[in-house]
Amino acid sequence: MGKILETINEPADLKNLNPSQLSQLAEEIREFIISTISRTGGHLASSLGAVDFTIALHSVFDSPDDKVIWDVGHQSYAHKILTGRRESFQTIRQMGGISGFPKRSESPHDFFGTGHSSTSVSAALGFAKARDLNGEKHNVIAVIGDGALTGGMAYEALNNAGSQGVDLIVVLNDNEMSISKNVGAMASYLSKLRMEPHFQKIRTDFRSLVKRVPLIGEKLFQTAHLIEEHLTYLVISGVLFEALGFTYLGPFDGHNIKNLKSVFNEAKIMKGPRFIHLLTQKGRGYAPAEKDATKWHGAVPFDIETGNSNHDKGIPSYTEVFSNTIVELAGKDEKIAAITAAMPDGTGLVDFSNKYPKRFFDVGIAEGHAITFAAALAAAGIKPVVAIYSTFLQRAYDQLIHDVCLQNLPVVFAIDRAGVVGEDGPTHHGVFDLSYLRSIPNMVLMAPKDENELRHMLNSAFDYNAPVAVRYPRGKGVGVKMDKELAVLPLGKAELLKKGVDLAIIAIGSMVYPALLAAEKLTFEGIEAAVVNARFVKPLDEELILQVARDCGAVLTVEENVEAGGFGSAVMELINKSSIQKVKVKIKGLPDKFVEHGTLSQLKEKHALNADGIVEEARSLLEFAK
């Protein structure tokens, strides 16, 4: 750790540092972040790019009196280090340690928790309005990335703030990236405008003027394209945000701390909505991350010198299996199209986009639009698959109901990161989807017990001619042998994996193999447990479930989802409606609270979502059933 960094315990400590010291501090923070994340893993590239302007922000403004609201939180690591969490930063994203995202309960400098994109301007507007209602005078600053500007919510907030003339500062961190390369109208806005005849005339006149400069005209002309870039931003970008009611300032070099302090001080004394446009480099200060910011967005532990990780390439992940399967299916059916909301890498659609570019659609951080767009594709005879994380599908619940399921349109949802996801914590755990999906009419909902079954479920989903969701966990598969030929699974049919007479363990998805292991352990205690791989949450295999319930008299359901309204609730409702008497049912899932961050194994052990936990639940159920 550098000597300057050791002296910084709160933002006020920055006030007495000169520009040279602040630049040195930026380098020390980058080294500190790289060193820490190389051991813990975390969001590296985005945080490295935000170091300089974060220092400048905290040098000029007075947190926690002034309120800095961060969007998403991937870029907030320097903020955490500068606001009293330097010593605890080594625990970031570790069980019991600090969060990888802004968190209100963690620090008085974290004013609004965030993990999903495009929320900071809305939140900042709320804080600004509250300030005015309370008769207070502090500044409110929203920090938002250009990737987040592909989300419609950001424009709703900008439009609202600008139309009301609220005293508010928005800082745009423009690195031309979200997680993957930005797409959409905003990303291509400037390049399109450069082709307009009016701008072409400005460009021609500008070049002619530069060439006429005595002595140095020719040399200036050689670099005129750089000046044109600045002119384009200045003339064109400013027009857009001025039209929304903001005073536009920029663009500025987001790594020049001295100049940034001047800009922020100028903005500080202005009134009304101000928009400050910063140009930054994602991954700055670490060559591998500068070269491939997408790869280094979310880093696993790695060797700093080589950039190599210890990631085991043996058993394929569920995401990789999805990727290979959807490419295979699309090769057989030219109607299959794939949609992502700014996550082609994370959801495994890169190969699909390369092989079938005309059938691949990245809509940006716009989940609601993605679902309605998919619904219209389906209505027009295309077979869309929406590849999306469970936590992000929550953002499009109205579209799921209104645009897909109400019209019974055959859209396939490939729901990645279902269940607990580990170190990203409560903003990213996908533990609600079984509950929020199974209540929607017309929805078919299933989860595979392993990566081989995932392949068959994806193949089956396109055969059912209905809205279908296939949810699968983060991480590696089980390691089973993969079938070469794809089958269509009978709709709503479960699989009896083990017979038993004392207890029926009915498991879904990732909990099936732990249930089988638990049944083996129970055998040594003289308890013969039947094990059912439910496969489907909706429709349930009513015949098989009622049969094992009748035969055993005790049913334990197991799911990697919240217990409230999930798979176990569906089984309980089924048994309650049946004529079977005196069946004891116990639901095992996640409790009615937000699950903290930690490794997958730590979280599953803590919440007893493993074989030993299932054994304990089985014993408890049988004791109660006596």
| Contact yes or no for 304/34 (Cβ under 8 A) | yes
Q: Which of 598, 347, 345, 297 is nearest to 472 (CA)?
A: 347
Q: What's the rounded Cα separation, in Å, for the pair 130 and 125?
A: 8
Rounded to whole angstroms, what are the CA distances from 150 to 182, 245, 379, 547? 8, 19, 25, 51
The b-or-e profile of 27-50 (16+ CB within 10 A means b, else e) is ebbbbbbbebbbebbbbbbbbbbb
Torsion sign across C-alpha atoms 458, 460, 464, 465: positive
Nearest to 7 by CA among 66, 89, 59, 84: 84
Closest CA to 143 of 18, 256, 232, 56: 56
**CA torsion angle for 264, 267, 268, 274 (degrees, to 10)?**
-120
Separation between Cα atoms, residue 360 and residue 336, nearest integer Å: 9
Residues in the chain: 626
| Residues annotated as catalytic (active site), given as ranges | 282, 367, 395
The half-sphere exposure of 168 on its side-chain side, counting CA atoms within 13 A, is 30
Rounded to 5 degrees, what are φ and ψ at 303? Answer: -85, 120
- Report the C-alpha gap between 383 and 459 in whole angstroms: 12
The answer to whether the beta carbons of residues 544 and 518 sit under 8 Å apart is no
d(CA 199, CA 210): 16
- Residue 369 in contact with residue 398, Cβ under 8 Å? no
What distance in Å separates the CA atoms of residue 52 and residue 311, rounded to the nearest whole number? 31
How many angstroms separate the first and last alpha carbons of the chain?
Answer: 62
